Amino acid sequence: MEDRDRQKIEEIIRDRANAHGFYRASSPAYRAFLTVEEAAFGDGPLPKGQKELIAIGIAVVVNCESCLEWHIKQALDAGITREQIVDAVGVGIEMGGGPATVSARFAMKVLSYYTE
């Protein structure tokens, strides 16, 4: 992995932590969003790991690098394998068509960041 890719991922992590602290302290709407997030990603008929795989596929389609960083890490923490994440990225590529391959390249870098 190139240093600039590693730096980009680390910047996303820092930016998210800073924004999370700011908005959690100052925004009732953000705190409500966190409640929705907990409900959406908690175990239910679909376990958390499967929900993270869905989110990864969607993040590829919408080209959300911050989403990819978050949901790949969450998927790994939930016991999802590298191979399963690559498979979910493949679904995102198919659903997003050609432009999604750009997001897929970033997903590959995030996965390498956490698993190499």
% residues pLDDT > 90 (the chain): 90
Could you read off the pLDDT of 24-38 as tens digits, one per residue?
999 999 999 999 999
The domain spans of the chain are 3-115
* CA dist 59 → 28, 31, 55, 92 (Å): 25, 22, 6, 8
Please write the tens of the pLDDT for every residue from 51-76.
999 999 999 999 999 999 999 999 99
- Nearest residue to 69 (alpha-carbon basis) of 116, 14, 32: 14
Please state whether the predicted TM-score (pTM) of the whole model is above 0.85.
yes
* CATH architecture of structural domain 3-115: Up-down Bundle (1.20)
d(CA 43, CA 109): 28
In this prediction, residues 87-91 reach a mean pLDDT of 97
Q: What is the DSSP letter of 10?
A: H
